Structure 1
């Protein structure tokens, strides 16, 4: 009798997995941190025999995406379930493979079948709303295509005016001065064609914090609705929704670079990206939505595993910076060597700016404390290079709206 039960249980278990298929489908395969990824899975029993229980084990590696379940199916029944996951970490993730497991009612036998198909999901860094952000006026030899005067010489002369004490002599328009019997100088428009380079520091040695930590998101307390922007990990909004990042200089730096690129490309600037992480990534300057997509696709899998200090990156890539172009460095390095390198670029007619992610705000009190950023901020100020200081616990858009050193900001 025991042999009969065993044989019956074996046959039951085998039959329970036969003619069962699983399908999965997602609305999109690329989205930003902070957005919701939605996927529908369907279990289909194609046989006339009911399935007492079938367990679905999903091997996807998208953080927080839990689709595994156990369900029963009647004859020719289809069951679907929808999973919605808030994307918290950028990267390239795999959906699948899926393993289906079943067995007999007595628990004597188990069988499983693996569906090896995988789908890729790309999670971009967030594009924060930088509504109050503006580049310092001392930084620009070019800009958006607007009718505003530039202190710098550009190819776009738009008129003449009377000489004012302090005007450069090379601006004097001698034929007009002769006609008017007084000194007249040329006025110039901002050049909309100048290049803008974002140099993202991905050196491993200068990163602090935990890039894979789970961000703290406010939860309801005593029935009260939480303030979604009260968390220390709140960094700003994208599409009107709050965005949270783990306390990591790497994640903050990437989000800043992506958001700057998005904002500047929206202003019709020509933007390029340099980042030496696990690979030496260089995206030549270009305009438009396709350029933004190229930058986001590069930043999504980028990791701070580089070995080269940012001053070496600047030196190696400086041949790309034409006179009149602008360089923005995003870094958590508080050694002032790179600040001196950036200051040297200004001697070549290259405009520069720096976004410093303050590393001391990303470590706990009982951990090793990195040096203060005041030295590098002072070196930049001495070289007349505008800088911004971003700290953990403060929204990024607020920090980027406040340039250090009292530099006038163009918005």
Structure 2
């Protein structure tokens, strides 16, 4: 529990007490002594009021999901219960968070065993890793001289993933790279998939010869191969400290580049293609191509907090 300094009112009360002490000792009049005692008792009552306001409180924060995406909402339900015999008044409840623009303060009053709850909703606008979940209750005396605050619950990490856009017109089959894709065509170079077997022609590479079938047919037989979309894809993200412009925390080239990277990863993963990521940030980021869900989640976690602070050019 922490005592907070409050406005100029406290300064004026201190000056008033000083004057009462001066006149009481200087004149000896009982009136000044009584007035001094009344001021001190009033201040003590206000301080005790603020202190008891923070006793017997039970705080609950109901939030099942501790991550979101830019454009989503931070949700939850905040509940406060007065387990003390005395009523509570002049108290403010808010969640402490490092999420930009997030505020959830509310002033309430409670009688014994009363329960108050309300929904929390805040639009997530900036990607990153933040802290939230700690609840701060501030109590004030009726005279506005003191404020006390008390913290409940512990902070937890909340991850805001980058925004992704649909890419319906992106067709990796147009790349015509060696692959194991469904849509294929004949290839003049060796790939991982053989399409058929034919007789040897002059100029065919010896690497194409299918030796078991050659022995069976008693004639040189060679393999033909298929080609389609790329079997593996890499997303290269330039995070050099001089590669991006824009001072706005949301509308800048860094956020645009991260959004494009996330959208590409999301699209290629939906096509069951192995996807990798390389970014030249200050802490070098590299994920080899894979197609499982955990791999995609790790790449998205890295992109949630990556910044254009790299010193090595891509």
TM-score w.r.t. the length of structure 2 is 0.75
In structure 1, what is the Cα distance between the partners aligned to 2:168 and 2:224? 29
Distance 1:79 1:174, change over 3 A: closer
Match of 2:270 in 1: 266
In structure 2, what is the Cα distance between the partners aligned to 1:174 and 1:13? 89
Q: How does 1:286-365 map to 2 (within 5 A)?
A: 286-310=290-314
Correspondence 1:58 to 2:95: yes
In structure 2, what is the Cα distance between the partners aligned to 1:68 and 1:271? 43
- DSSP-derived class of the 2:305 partner: coil
Q: Which runs of 5+ in 2 are unaligned?
A: 1-37, 214-220
Which of these two proteins has the greater Rg computed from alpha carbons? 2
Match of 1:128 in 2: 165
Correspondence 1:74 to 2:78: no
What RMSD in Å do the two structures reach over aligned CA positions?
A: 3.2
In structure 1, what is the Cα distance between the partners aligned to 2:284 and 2:77? 38
CA contact (8 A) 1:157 1:188 kept: yes
Match of 2:244 in 1: 207
Q: How many residues align?
A: 270
Q: How does 1:133-172 map to 2 (within 5 A)?
A: 133-135=170-172, 137-138=174-175, 140-142=177-179, 144=181, 146-151=182-187, 152-159=189-196, 170=205
Displacement after TM superposition at 1:301 (Å): 0.8
Displacement after TM superposition at 1:211 (Å): 5.1
Displacement after TM superposition at 1:37 (Å): 2.0
CA contact (8 A) 2:178 2:192 kept: no
Match of 1:2 in 2: 39
CA contact (8 A) 2:84 2:112 kept: yes
Distance 1:50 1:118, change over 3 A: same
CA contact (8 A) 2:176 2:230 kept: no
Match of 2:124 in 1: 87
CA contact (8 A) 1:55 1:68 kept: yes
Of residues 45, 69, 78, the one that matches 2:82 is 45
Q: How does 1:158-307 map to 2 (within 5 A)?
A: 158-159=195-196, 170=205, 187-190=224-227, 194-210=231-247, 212=249, 246-307=250-311
CA contact (8 A) 1:12 1:104 kept: yes
Displacement after TM superposition at 1:136 (Å): 6.3
- DSSP-derived class of the 1:47 partner: coil
Of residues 63, 77, 91, the one that matches 1:26 is 63
In structure 2, what is the Cα distance between the partners aligned to 1:281 and 1:174? 42
TM-score w.r.t. the length of structure 1 is 0.59
In structure 2, what is the Cα distance between the partners aligned to 1:7 and 1:88? 45
Displacement after TM superposition at 1:203 (Å): 0.4
CA contact (8 A) 1:143 1:191 kept: yes
Distance 1:129 1:4, change over 3 A: same
Displacement after TM superposition at 1:105 (Å): 1.1
Of residues 87, 97, 100, the one that matches 2:134 is 97
Match of 1:316 in 2: none
CA contact (8 A) 2:61 2:133 kept: no
Displacement after TM superposition at 1:308 (Å): 0.9
Match of 1:36 in 2: 73
